[in-house]
Amino acid sequence: MKIRITESPFDPLAEVRDYQDEMRQQGKYGASAIFIGSMRDENEGEAILSMELEHYPGMTEQHLEKIAQEAGRRWPLLGTLIVHRTGTVNIADPIVLVAVWSAHRAAAFESCRYIMEDLKSSAPFWKKETTEGGQRWVEKNTPGYTD
Amino acid sequence: MKIRITESPFDPLAEVRDYQDEMRQQGKYGASAIFIGSMRDENEGEAILSMELEHYPGMTEQHLEKIAQEAGRRWPLLGTLIVHRTGTVNIADPIVLVAVWSAHRAAAFESCRYIMEDLKSSAPFWKKETTEGGQRWVEKNTPGYTD
Amino acid sequence: MYLNEKYMKVKVKYFAGLRERFGRDEEVLELAEGTDVGGLWQRLITGHTLPDGIMSTVNMEYVQDDVILHEGDEVAFFPPVTGG
Amino acid sequence: MYLNEKYMKVKVKYFAGLRERFGRDEEVLELAEGTDVGGLWQRLITGHTLPDGIMSTVNMEYVQDDVILHEGDEVAFFPPVTGG
């Protein structure tokens, strides 16, 4: 399991490759599910120029670790990788990466989704968007499961 | 939308990167969900040495395109990529890649899962495993949605 | 059979275990007009209806066994798919 | 207040909009022993109970407002999280 908070831009596909290369579980996992969240150029109909991502250092890492451990109790996972950006974020920058490895696809899909939903609803991050009209705090995340 | 059937080994993360570089939708999508299925070294308790992946050329491409189009009708997708391996497959080789891009995570997660489940249950591929005891056809895929 | 019964040609393809069982991957068969997918299967294995475990397509679309065949159709029979 | 009432020190942190509203990101407060999270909030904004929209943690774990504080605890208050 790896949790990484970074103030610098990161390359999610390279992170997945590096983590997988170190896993040494080749032939054991048959399924990996990967989610990448990145910055859009608009929100609620308004153009966004950039964003500040604040977090609660210490709690963030601890909380993400707890989420990943809970996912590992619920599903038989062979690998879990979470990377989250902080600081000044520009359009199209990756913000979050969640990747999981398991023997079968149901566990991979469901645990990846589970981690993302928990991260969205409870990991201590806050976004402040810069629009042409100034800055504003994002009030809440969009709801997750729709089905 | 891109559908690719390949008899040679492929690199799923490189495929995702190449497709995304050509999408030119940076800043429009905020979510991508990626699934990679790869070959495990055992199935139903028996060690697998290699595998032959047969398919129905012509129908395979047509059917995957139909699945991808149906996903695009059900969810607002900005990009869809499906790659599937055929021929002789070795342990840890990637077999299938499904990647989707959308504005929000619910659409990305759900459409990626939808495509994989449909592919598993109806795309015309057949696996023949080589074990120490000889060759055997895989009889059926494991069920998909468990929740 | 009546002398004036009309015939049509269809291509039939077999995959995976069925291909091995029939010992061929495809063939062209001449069938009486009006033959359906189930009728073609009975021609292949005399007296047996198409089992639930065998999937069938006509021109690369999944079909039920009561679909009527036409000249030039491409039919395929195969076991449950196991891709992905 | 009784002369023999005991006091404890807790660190309080504020994030995002709350940090801006309070004009500080953290401070150390001296509270009467037995004070709970809701009591600490009332000390910050006199006479107001902790609103539903404010999340609170003690030592980096989410808590309800009736959790009793102890010497050296780190408390945090913040608006709904918006990461990911």
Q: Region B75-91: what's the mean pLDDT?
A: 98
B/e letters for B97-111, b = 16+ CB within 10 Å, e = fewer, are bbbbbbbbbbbbbbb
Q: Which residue of A has its CA nearest to B49?
A: A27
Asked if A116 is an interface residue toward chain B (Cβ–Cβ < 8 A), one would say yes
- Tell me which residue in A59, A84, A141 faces D57 most closely, judged by beta carbons: A59
Contact map slice: B 91-110 vs A, CB within 8 A: 91-92, 103-106, 108-110
Q: What distance in Å separates the CA atoms of residue A121 and residue A80, rounded to the nearest whole number? A: 19
Can you give the pLDDT at residue C3?
61
Q: What's phi and psi for D49, nearest 5 deg?
A: -80, 160
- Tell me which residue in B28, B40, B106 faces A30 most closely, judged by beta carbons: B40
Q: Enumerate neighbours of C (3 or more CB pairs within 8 A).
A: B
Please enumerate in sequence order all residues whose Cβ is within 8 A of that of B22, keeping only pairs 6 or more positions apart, or say none: none
Q: With an 8 Å CB cutoff and a minimum of 3 pairs, decide whether chains D and A touch.
A: yes
Test B36 with A34 for CB contact under 8 angstroms. Answer: yes
Task: State the amino acid at position A42 in one-letter form.
Answer: E
**Contact between A60 and A124 (Cβ < 8 Å):** yes
Can you give the pLDDT at residue B147?
47
Size of interface A-D (CB pairs under 8 A): 71
Q: Which residue of B has its CA nearest to C18?
A: B137
Q: Enumerate neighbours of D (3 or more CB pairs within 8 A).
A: A
Q: What's phi and psi for D44, nearest 5 deg?
A: -75, -45
- DSSP string computed for A93-128: -EEEEEEEEESSHHHHHHHHHHHHHHHHHHS-EEEE
Torsion sign (Cα): B20, B25, B26, B30: negative
Can you give the pLDDT at residue A146?
61
Q: Is the pLDDT of residue B144 over 90?
A: no
- Closest to D74 (Cα-Cα) out of D37, D34, D33: D37
B127 vs C contacts (CB less than 8 Å): 82-83
Region of D51 on the Ramachandran plot (φ > 0 left; ψ -120 to 50 alpha; else beta): beta
Can you give the pLDDT at residue A147?
47
Beta-strand pair A77-85/A2-6 = parallel
Q: Per-residue confidence at D3, pLDDT binned at 50, 70, 90? A: low
pTM: 0.94
Q: Which residue of D has its CA nearest to A86?
A: D83
Test B119 with C82 for CB contact under 8 angstroms. Answer: no
Which pLDDT tens digits describe chain A residue by residue (147 residues)? 999 999 999 999 999 999 999 998 889 999 999 999 999 999 888 999 999 999 999 999 999 999 999 999 999 999 999 999 999 999 999 999 999 999 999 999 999 999 999 999 999 999 999 999 999 999 988 777 764
Can you give the pLDDT at residue B78?
97
Q: What are the tokens at B59? A: 């129908």
Q: Which has more confidence, B146 or B58?
A: B58
B142 vs A contacts (CB less than 8 Å): 104, 106
**Contact between C74 and C83 (Cβ < 8 Å):** no
Q: Enumerate neighbours of B (3 or more CB pairs within 8 A).
A: A, C
CA distances from D13 to B2, B56, D73, D74, D81 (A): 49, 62, 11, 8, 15
User: Per residue in B85-142, pLDDT tens?
Assistant: 999 999 999 999 999 999 999 999 999 999 999 999 999 999 999 999 999 999 988 7
For chain C (length 84 residues), average pLDDT per consecutive 10?
79 97 97 97 92 96 98 98 97
Can you give the pLDDT at residue D2?
55
- Lowest mean pLDDT: which of A43-47, D16-20, D73-77? A43-47
E strand residue ranges, chain B: 2-6, 31-38, 42-43, 46-47, 50-55, 77-85, 87-90, 94-102, 125-131, 134-137
Q: What are the tokens at B83? A: 């790659």
Looking at CA atoms only, how far is residue D78 from chain A in angstroms?
Answer: 9
Looking at CA atoms only, how far is residue B3 from chain A in angstroms?
Answer: 19
3-state secondary structure chain C: CCCCCCEEEEEEEECHHHHHHHCCCEEEEEEECCCEHHHHHHHHCCCCCCCCCCEEEECCEECCCCCECCCCCEEEEECCCCCC
Q: With an 8 Å CB cutoff and a minimum of 3 pairs, decide whether chains C and B touch.
A: yes
Can you give the pLDDT at residue A24?
85
User: Per residue in D26-55, pLDDT tens?
Assistant: 999 999 999 999 999 999 998 899 999 999
Contact map slice: C 45-84 vs B, CB within 8 A: 57, 60, 62, 76, 78-84
Q: Which residue of A has its CA nearest to B26?
A: A92
- Tell me which residue in A36, A105, A145 faces B37 most closely, judged by beta carbons: A105
The arrangement of strands across the sheet holding D74-78 comes to D26-32, D7-14, D74-78, D55-58, D61-62
**Contact between A141 and A68 (Cβ < 8 Å):** no
B/e letters for A61-88, b = 16+ CB within 10 Å, e = fewer, are bebbebbbeebbeebebbbbbbbbbbee
Asked if C21 is an interface residue toward chain B (Cβ–Cβ < 8 A), one would say no
What percent of chain B stands above pLDDT 90? 89
Task: State the amino acid at position A111 in one-letter form.
Answer: S
Q: Per-residue confidence at B25, pLDDT binned at 50, 70, 90? A: confident
Helix residue ranges, H only, chain A:
12-23, 59-74, 105-122
Q: What distance in Å separates the CA atoms of residue B97 and residue B112, rounded to the nearest whole number? A: 10
Name the DSSP class of A9.
Answer: -
Q: Per-residue confidence at B63, pLDDT binned at 50, 70, 90? A: very high
Can you give the pLDDT at residue A45?
87
Could you give the ipTM of this predicted complex?
0.93
Which residue reads 């992905």 in tokens? C84
